[in-house]
């Protein structure tokens, strides 16, 4: 695949600061980056906007908003406020997309939590529209439902997205989270131009932490070429993020991880 459409999701090289990740993008000719909010906060949002521009880097997305369900109305309001700030940050750094990891049930039933996710997106949508930031619902792998996201399939994300019928609500197609679904290609086609991001890693069965044991591109069983073809067929023309969350990689040499990921990415058809 073409490096001209590549974006480095910052948590692939989580130990690095935003400055270090930006420098690595420039060094390797990676034209885009997807910062995470904790890294952005360390750097300063205004400074990041300036430095990203100066480095000539596009921003593919900001990770992440979401986590809407909470036990009380005031806590849910605080989550909404945090998402409003995330939208501001995305707009400031020129991120066209805010990735939403929707959050776990937090003591509610799954159905109640799913309603809270809907209501949370509804509450922040006017600000997203005014800021021209797309809210991109990322369905997470069903094994993360208790900690990360009650939205656990692309079909569910598509239903939720369609319920808003807004160009400012979209979905993320992250191969790790959705490849197992026998309907994955049909759901990508159904999403069409609502696909606001395409994230690459690979699947090997996690042996410990289910969140950060993702495999290097090419080391797992995901048919990445088929999924890349599906998102292209759906009309997605944006930057493609390498997003490999892996505690062992984080404990190792980041430059090695990045070089390997780049080789694997370029080797993909």
- Binding residues vs a second copy (CB under 8 A): 105, 109-110, 114, 141-147, 151-153, 155-156, 159, 179-183, 203-210, 220-221, 223, 226
Alpha carbons within 13 angstroms on the beta-carbon side of residue 167 total 6
The answer to whether 35 touches 93, Cβ cutoff 8 Å, is yes
Place of tokens 């609500």: 169
Q: Which is nearer to a second copy, 84 or 144 (CB)?
A: 144
- Output the smallest distance, CB 198 to a second copy, in A: 19
10 phi, psi to nearest 5 deg: -65, -30
Q: What is the three-class DSSP state of 146?
A: coil
Q: What is residue 217's DSSP assignment?
A: T
Q: Whose CA is closest to 62, among 80, 88, 35?
A: 35
Q: Whose CA is closest to 242, among 16, 42, 61?
A: 61
Helices first, then strands: H and E counts in the chain: 11, 9
User: How big is the chain by its Cα radius of gyration, in Å?
Assistant: 17
- Output the smallest distance, CB 201 to a second copy, in A: 14
Q: Which is nearer to a second copy, 81 or 209 (CB)?
A: 209
Q: Which is nearer to a second copy, 141 or 264 (CB)?
A: 141
- Cα angle 116, 59, 163; round to 5: 30
- Output the smallest distance, CB 268 to a second copy, in A: 16
The answer to whether 41 touches 93, Cβ cutoff 8 Å, is no
- Output the smallest distance, CB 188 to a second copy, in A: 14
Q: How far is CA 87 from the centre of its chain?
A: 14
- Output the smallest distance, CB 269 to a second copy, in A: 14
Q: Cα separation of 218 and 222, whole Å?
A: 8
Q: Which is nearer to a second copy, 43 or 114 (CB)?
A: 114
256: its two tokens: 């090695």
Q: Which is nearer to a second copy, 15 or 155 (CB)?
A: 155
Q: Which is nearer to a second copy, 19 or 204 (CB)?
A: 204
Q: Which is nearer to a second copy, 153 or 257 (CB)?
A: 153
């Amino acid at each position: 695949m073409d490096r001209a459409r590549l974006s480095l999701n910052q948590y692939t090289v989580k130990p690095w600061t935003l400055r270090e990740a930006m420098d690595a993008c420039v060094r390797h000719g990676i034209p885009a980056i997807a910062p995470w909010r904790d890294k952005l906060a360390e750097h300063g949002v205004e400074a990041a906007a300036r430095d990203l521009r100066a480095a000539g880097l596009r921003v593919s997305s900001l990770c992440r908003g979401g986590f809407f369900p909470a036990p009380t109305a005031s806590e849910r309001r605080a989550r909404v406020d945090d998402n409003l700030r995330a939208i501001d940050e995305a707009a400031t750094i020129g991120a066209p997309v805010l990735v939403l990891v929707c959050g776990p049930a937090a003591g509610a039933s799954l159905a109640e939590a799913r309603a809270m996710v809907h209501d949370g997106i509804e509450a922040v949508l006017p600000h997203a529209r005014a800021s021209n930031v797309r809210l991109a619902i990322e369905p997470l792998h069903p094994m993360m439902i208790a900690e990360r996201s009650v939205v656990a399939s692309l079909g569910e994300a598509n239903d939720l997205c369609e319920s808003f019928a807004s160009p400012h609500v979209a979905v993320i197609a992250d191969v790790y989270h959705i490849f197992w679904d026998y309907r994955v290609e049909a759901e990508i086609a159904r999403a069409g131009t609502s696909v606001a991001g395409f994230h690459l890693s690979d699947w090997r069965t996690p042996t410990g932490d289910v969140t950060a044991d993702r495999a290097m591109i090419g080391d797992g069983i995901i048919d990445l070429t088929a999924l890349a073809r599906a998102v292209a067929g759906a009309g997605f023309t944006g930057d493609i993020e390498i997003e490999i969350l892996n505690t062992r990689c984080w404990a190792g040499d980041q430059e090695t991880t990045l070089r390997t990921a780049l080789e694997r990415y370029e080797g993909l058809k």
